[in-house]
Amino acid sequence: MTETTNRPTRRLRYPAANPDGRLTHYLFRYPAKFHAPVVRQLIDEYTRPGDWLYDPFCGSGTLLVEALVSGRNALGSDVDPVAVYVSSVKSKPLSEARLRRDLGRILDALAPLERSPEDYEAMQWTDLSEPEYRAALGDSWVPAIPNLQHWFRRYVIVDLARVRATIHEVPLQGPSRRFFLLVFASVIRSVSNADPVPVSGLEVTAHMKRRDLAGRLINPFRQWRLAATRAIADVGAFASVATKGIHASAFQADATTFSRRLRQPVDAVITSPPYHGAVDYYRRHQLEMYWLGLVHEHEERVRLLQRYIGRTKVAARHPLLEGQFSLPEREALVEAQMREVSAPRADAFRHYCVAMSRTFLELARTLQRNSPALFVVGHSMWRGSSLNTSDLFAELSQPYFELAEILDYPVKNRYMSYARRNGASIDHEYVLVLRRTSASIAGT
| CB atoms near residue 359 (< 10 Å) | 24
Give the integer Cα–Cα distance in Å for 194 and 145: 14
What pLDDT is recorded for position 32? 79
The reported pLDDT for the residue numbered 16 is: 65
User: Along the chain (444 residues), what's the average pLDDT of each consecutive run of 10 residues?
Assistant: 58 73 92 88 96 97 97 97 98 97 98 96 94 96 96 98 98 97 97 85 89 93 98 97 96 94 92 84 92 95 91 90 85 89 93 95 96 89 67 93 91 48 59 95 70
Is 227 within 8 Å of 187 (Cβ atoms)? yes
Question: Among candidates 336, 345, 347, which has minimal Cα distance to 421?
Answer: 345
Give the residue from 220, 219, 198, 222 showing the smallest Cα distance to 208. 198
Strand, helix or coil for residue 26 = coil
In this prediction, residue 278 carries a pLDDT of 72
H runs (alpha helix) in 71-95: 81-90
Report angle CA 77, 80, 84 to the nearest 5 degrees.
50
The pLDDT of residue 295 is 95
Helix (H) or strand (E) holding 54: strand 52-55
- Tell me the domains of the chain and their CATH numbers: 10-79+247-436 (3.40.50.150), 96-239 (no CATH)
Strand-strand pairing, 401-410 and 428-436:
antiparallel
State the amino acid at position 219 in one-letter form: N
Specify the pLDDT at position 237. 96
Please give the DSSP secondary-structure letter assigned to residue 383. T
167 conformational bin, left if phi > 0, alpha if psi -120 to 50, beta if neither: alpha
**Longest CA–CA separation in the chain, Å:** 70
The whole-angstrom separation of Cα 225 and Cα 103 is 9
pLDDT (0 to 100) of residue 116:
96
Q: How far apart are CA 96 and CA 229, in angstroms?
A: 10
- DSSP readout, 209-236? HHHHHH-----HHHHHHHHHHHHHHHHH
Q: Can you give the pLDDT at residue 238?
A: 97
Let me know: does 55 contact 270? Beta carbons within 8 Å: yes
Task: Give dist(CA 182, CA 167) in Å, integer.
Answer: 11
Q: What's residue 361's pLDDT?
A: 96
The sign of the dihedral angle between the CA atoms of 335, 336, 341, 344 is positive
Q: pTM score, two decimals?
A: 0.93
Name the nearest CA neighbour of 191 among 162, 163, 164, 216.
Answer: 216
Cβ burial 12-30 (10 Å sphere, 16+ → b, else e)? bebeeeeebeebbbbbbbb
Q: Identify the pLDDT of residue 197.
A: 81
**C-alpha distance across the termini of the chain, in Å:** 27
